[in-house]
């Protein structure tokens, strides 16, 4: 049975859409079907590039995975790392093994022979650029960070409440999440944990292994919308848990804030629809414009194939040789000689690469 490529709104999709329309095209359309042996070489290439990771992202995923496993263990009434030292040691060893194995396999390019092996972008491009400046650490340092995050979870009030059965876990599995309709827009969200506390408040929890960002605040609004439309809780609280600190940022969005977010969601979805035809078929590639913020191009997974930058491999370095504006003009010049774009879309340079900041800032 073929998998259909449906247009479903999510905060990660919206973030990519705002960052760079061409990256959005590669990640949500051009890669589609690239996992099949029947796919053409270019589609397979784009799909592979879309799956590239890096050590910081992999560490975050490893922490999320081990926490989810522990919460499920707690829900089954079994001994967990939160209450048993042996289980704690096992969990820490699992984290270390997963991170070190992934780093070793990627460095040795084992993903060339096994598509199930995670490839890190800096190993693929051999330039180290996917790890942002100031974030370069040894593998042992990342293991230490991951361990700290996990231990902080085990010592958290949330974990204690689950162990003591004061809190009731509602959802802690990505397979339990489905798209819901919000003001006519299909919306998908995957909070890390949903639980009911002893005061009857429903909590939507998102574990964070990195630093606090503005986009996190935006994300809480849409988690709230998703929860309101799926579970309709009497009282709702969003908890952003920064595990490395540790620190919890909690919020209870008002009805007015959620209604405003729903309107924004509709507008965002409408903009995405404008770049598609019937059945979510994407318009021609040239309709998906490059970002004006070329600083993000150096870390982009798709920099090998994107015409917005010319990459020259010189030893262990990839150099960005032309600006996105120059590349865009060259594409416009080339395409205008043959065919016009299927739609002429207005470009709003002052907002195209920003989330909806003004609408969520305190008034």
Decide if 320 contacts 307 (C-beta within 8 A): no
* Average pLDDT over every residue of 38-66: 95
pLDDT at 310: 53
Q: Does residue 287 surpass a pLDDT of 60?
A: yes
* Secondary structure letter of residue 29 according to DSSP: I
Residue 213: pLDDT above 90? no
Average pLDDT over residues 41-59: 95
219: confidence class by pLDDT, cuts 50, 70, 90: confident
In order, the DSSP letters of 111-174 are GGT-TTSPPBHHHHHTS-TTS-TT----HHHHHHHHHHHHHHHHTSHHHHHHHTTSSEEEE--G
Model confidence pLDDT, tens digit, residues 294-352: 888 988 999 999 988 754 333 334 444 444 444 444 333 333 333 333 443 433 333 33
Coil, strand or helix at 318:
strand
Span 220-274, pLDDT tens digits = 889 999 999 988 898 999 999 999 999 999 999 888 989 999 999 999 999 999 9
pLDDT over threshold 50, residue 358: no
**Residue 122 pLDDT > 60:** yes
Ramachandran region, residue 226 (left: φ > 0; alpha: ψ -120 to 50; beta: rest): alpha
pLDDT-based confidence at 174, cuts 50/70/90? low
Residue 253 has what pLDDT? 87
Q: What confidence tier does 128 reach under pLDDT thresholds 50, 70, 90?
A: low
Q: Give the separation between CA 157 and CA 155, rounded to whole angstroms.
A: 7
Q: Is the pLDDT of residue 136 over 50?
A: no
Model pTM score: 0.81
Q: Which residue has the higher pLDDT, 196 or 295?
A: 196
pLDDT, position 131: 52
pLDDT of 309 reads 73
Q: Say yes or no to pLDDT of 362 above 70.
A: no
- The per-residue pLDDT for 348 is 38
């Amino acid at each position: 049975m073929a998998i259909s490529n449906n247009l479903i709104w999510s905060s990660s999709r919206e973030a990519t859409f705002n960052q760079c329309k061409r990256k959005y095209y590669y990640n949500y359309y051009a890669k589609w079907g690239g996992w099949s042996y029947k796919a053409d070489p270019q589609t397979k290439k784009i799909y592979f590039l879309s799956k590239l990771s890096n050590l910081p992202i992999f560490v975050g995923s490893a922490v999320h995975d081990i926490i989810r496993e522990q919460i499920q263990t707690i829900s089954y009434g079994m001994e967990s790392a939160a209450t048993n030292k042996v289980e704690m040691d096992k969990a820490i060893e699992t984290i270390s093994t997963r991170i070190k194995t992934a780093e070793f396999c990627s460095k040795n390019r084992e993903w060339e022979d096994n598509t199930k092996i995670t490839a890190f972008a800096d190993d693929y491009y051999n330039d180290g650029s996917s790890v942002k400046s100031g974030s370069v650490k040894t593998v042992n340092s990342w293991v230490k960070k991951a361990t700290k995050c996990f231990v902080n979870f085990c010592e958290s009030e949330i974990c204690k409440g689950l162990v003591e059965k004061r809190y009731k876990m509602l959802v802690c599995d990505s397979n339990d999440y489905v798209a819901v309709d919000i003001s006519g827009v299909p919306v998908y969200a995957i909070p890390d944990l949903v639980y009911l506390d002893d005061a009857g408040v429903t909590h939507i929890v998102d574990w964070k292994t990195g630093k606090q960002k503005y986009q996190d605040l935006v994300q809480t609004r849409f988690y709230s919308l998703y929860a309101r439309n799926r579970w309709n809780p009497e009282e709702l609280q969003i908890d952003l848990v920064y595990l490395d600190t540790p620190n919890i940022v909690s919020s209870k969005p008002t009805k007015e804030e959620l209604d405003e977010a729903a309107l924004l969601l509709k507008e965002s979805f409408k903009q995405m629809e404008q770049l598609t035809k019937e059945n979510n078929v994407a318009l021609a590639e040239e309709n998906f414009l490059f970002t004006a913020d070329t600083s993000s191009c150096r870390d982009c997974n798709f920099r090998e194939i994107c015409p917005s930058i010319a990459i020259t491999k010189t030893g262990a370095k990839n150099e960005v040789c032309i600006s996105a504006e120059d590349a865009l003009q060259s594409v416009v010049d080339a395409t205008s000689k043959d065919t016009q774009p299927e739609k002429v879309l207005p470009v709003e340079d002052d907002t195209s690469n920003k989330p909806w900041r003004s609408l969520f800032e305190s008034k």
